[in-house]
Amino acid sequence: MKKSRIGLGALALLSASALALTGCASGNEPAAEESKGDASAIITTNGSEPQNPLIPTNTTETGGGKIIDSLFSGLVSYTAEGEIENEVAESIESDDATNWTVTLEEGWTFTNDEPVTANSFVDAWNYGALFSNAQGSSYFFDNIVGFDYEKDSELTGLKVVDEQTFTVELAAPEADWPLRLGYSAYSPLPEAAFEDMEAFGENPIGNGPYMLAEEGAWVHEEKISLVTNPDYDGVRKPANGGLEIIFYATQDAAYADIEGGNLDVLDAVPDSAFETYEDTFGDRAVNQPAAIFQGFNMPYYLEHWSGEEGELRRAAISMAINRDEITDVIFQGTRTPATDFTSPVIDGWTDKLEGADVLAYNPDEAKKLWAEADAIAPYGDTVFDLAYNSDGGHQAWVDAVVNSISNTLGIEAVGKPYATFAAALEDRDADKLTGGTRAGWQADYPSMYNFLAPLYQTGAGSNYEDYSSEEFDALLKEGAQASSVEDATAKYQEAQEVLLKDLPSIPLWYSNVTGVSADTVDNVVFGWNSVPLYHQITKG
């Protein structure tokens, strides 16, 4: 798969006098193989227990995300290469990039037979944006008129025209606004959801290519079972009978199952198999660029990690890590040392940001900066720990990172494992960390903005460590409102230079998708964000 370069392209290059999204994308998605397989066959794949009930605006992690994307269809969806094509939308049009008119295709229904209407989107977006609902993705609506970060406020920029049409008024022009609409936060909701949202999250009713199986669909901490939605007729029409997503405790266990013929598709090969998996699986193995960033965060609420002392220690820790050696020895060429906070597959990525030298291994400078921090407040015998989830295959690289820090700075540094990703997120959300924390990001939609706003904007839903910078926020806003791709990219790069000074996250490397499929399935394609296109997988 070639690298996607859509980030701020495509739509943003259109004239503001005639912006529109109609019909489908250009169709660069890889062609399916001839084998049609058994249309009733269930595809088994790996996953993880969702952190929260399955409500689209409150599902911000990958385990729940791949489920939500299977259960719901939004206005648009993404091809394998990250291009957008209409799903529920018939058209998304604007003359000024500020006022948008959305027209829906007729005939869409939820799996409880409720029709999908303009109200299905407007009500869902208002619910997601409302301050008191505390939805993790609320900030995705902050560009719509009426949004408020501090109190309940209706999105007055949303207006229902008729059952198939609604309008959106943005706070400022955004030429590429439709690009974000394939993200799950913009999904519609049926009226039934608002009767009891908590219960709905345990048994969601969607309009996507799949739906929950009737009996025992979600066995917490074990698996979730989906079957095809017989009424779905969108661009992601399943070529199989459903998905069984198994929540593995470790990636090694998942890999053992696919080697043993007990799993069809695996989207994350454990590091223990990096040397051998391509030989083992041949043309059923992939190692391709994806929109995934890996770093670790240091909470500002911890002693020694804020103010001038914290700034010195963050830079010292970063320079104490030998990224080249770790990506070579541990990851066997499946990772690339980071030079920014985004991904090389995203338009606007660069390795020439001012201040990026803080990401280079420099033990002498690291020791110097650490000593300067000690002159402000001695670190003493404090143990540096780095939290990670054991179910994600992170132990080897975490051990390598803490060893590099320990050997360079002469402090005690250790890994701190959590059994599950959800458990690790709970302590992050509750400000209970005792040290650093693994903080990867898999893009929601292909844009630099999506790598920056959710993680570092003041008050953003995935800004667990509460970083806040007026300078960064201002540059991010200027980039989002820029009238050209070049201007937007320049502002996002300036914003990253602020991050390189403050280092709320220590960038480590970019990840490739390393996946495999068994000989039980065909037509397996991994998308721009590393998630398989489940709907086109055939079996039998």
Using one digit for the tens of pLDDT, what is the confidence trace for 114-152? 999 999 999 999 999 999 999 999 989 999 999 999 999
Residue 172: which pLDDT band, with cuts at 50, 70 and 90? confident
Q: Between 423 and 35, where is the model more confident? A: 423
Q: Pick the residue with more confidence: 407 or 25?
A: 407
> Are 361 and 255 in a shared domain?
no
Residues 257 and 405 in one domain: no
Confidence of residue 22 (pLDDT cuts 50, 70, 90): very low
Q: Are 507 and 295 in contact (CB under 8 A)?
A: yes
Helices (H), 203-301: 251-259, 277-281
Q: What's the distance, CA 108 to chain centroid?
A: 27
Q: Where are the beta strands (DSSP E) in 195-268?
A: 210-212, 218-219, 223-228, 242-247, 265-266
Nearest to 117 by CA among 129, 101, 126, 106: 106
For 192-206, what is each residue's pLDDT tens digit?
999 999 999 999 999
Same domain, 193 and 293: no
Q: How confident is the model at residue 32 (pLDDT cuts 50, 70, 90)?
A: very low
pLDDT over 60 (residue 485): yes
- Note the pLDDT of residue 35: 55
Q: What is the mean pLDDT of residues 61-66?
A: 92
Tokens of 234: 């969108």
In this model, does residue 296 exceed pLDDT 90? Answer: yes
Query: 219 and 307 share a domain?
Result: no
Q: Are 463 and 437 in contact (CB under 8 A)?
A: no
What is the Rg, in whole angstroms, of the alpha carbon atoms belonging to the chain?
23
Q: Are strands 242-247 and 42-47 parallel, antiparallel or unpaired?
A: parallel
Give yes or no: residues 242 and 316 share one domain.
no
Q: Mark whether 250 and 309 lie in a shared domain.
A: no
**pLDDT average, residue stretch 173-185:** 89
Q: What is the pLDDT at residue 393?
A: 82
Q: Lowest-confidence range among 8-22, 152-166, 215-229?
A: 8-22
In this prediction, residue 74 has a pLDDT band, given cuts at 50, 70 and 90, of very high
Of these ranges, 444-448, 458-462, 513-517, the one predicted with the greatest mean pLDDT is 513-517
- On the question of pLDDT at 405 being above 80, the answer is yes
Confidence of residue 5 (pLDDT cuts 50, 70, 90): very low
Does 528 lie in the same domain as 507?
Answer: no
CA distance 13 to 19: 10
Asked whether residue 283 is assigned to any structural domain, the reply reads: no
pLDDT at 16: 34
Q: Is residue 213 part of a domain?
A: yes
What is the average per-residue pLDDT within 323-343?
94
Indicate if the pLDDT at residue 468 is higher than 70.
yes
We report the CATH number of the domain holding residue 153 as 3.40.190.10
**Per-residue confidence band for 17, with pLDDT thresholds at 50, 70 and 90:** very low
Q: Is the pLDDT of residue 175 over 90?
A: no
Amino acid, res. 398: V
Q: Is residue 421 included in any domain, yes or no?
A: yes
Residue 398 lies in a domain: yes
On whether both 216 and 330 belong to a single domain, the answer is: no
Indicate if the pLDDT at residue 9 is higher than 70: no
CA distance 531 to 477: 29
The whole-number average pLDDT for the span 98-104 is: 97
Residue found by looking up tokens 């690790």 in the block: 424
Q: Which of 207, 490, 447 shows the shortest CA–CA distance to 352?
A: 490
Domain assignment present for 282: no
φ, ψ for residue 370 (rounded to 5)?
A: -65, -40
Residue 162 and residue 67 in one domain: yes
Average pLDDT over the chain, rounded to whole?
A: 91
Q: Give Dmax (Cα) for the chain.
A: 68
Token look-up 């980030």 returns 7
- Tens of pLDDT along 373-383? 999 999 999 99
Q: What is the pLDDT of residue 444?
A: 85
DSSP 8-state assignment for residue 277:
H
4 lies in some domain: no
Q: Are residues 380 and 495 in the same domain?
A: yes
Residue 1 has pLDDT above 60, yes or no: no
Q: Which residues pair with 101 in a beta bridge?
A: 93, 167
Alpha-carbon span 53 to 39, nearest angstrom:
29
Q: Are residues 260 and 321 in the same domain?
A: no
As a whole number of angstroms, the distance between CA 377 and CA 371 comes to 10
Assess whether pLDDT exceeds 80 at residue 488: yes
Can you state the angle between helices 363-376 and 395-409, rounded to 10 degrees? Answer: 70
Kindly indicate the confidence band of residue 320, based on its pLDDT and cuts at 50, 70 and 90: very high
Measure the CA–CA gap between 397 and 412, rounded to whole angstroms. 17
Regarding whether 449 and 529 lie in a shared domain, the answer is no
CATH of the domain at 494: 3.10.105.10
Under a CB-based contact definition with an 8 Å cutoff, are residues 227 and 201 in contact?
A: no
Per the domain annotation, does 324 fall within a domain?
yes
pLDDT at 26: 34
272 is a domain residue:
no
Q: What is the pLDDT of residue 252?
A: 95
The model's pTM: 0.77
- For residue 384, the enclosing domain spans 289-513
Is the pLDDT assigned to residue 8 strictly greater than 50?
A: no
Q: What total of structural domains would you count in the chain?
A: 2
| Angle at which helices 395-409 and 307-319 cross, to 10° | 110
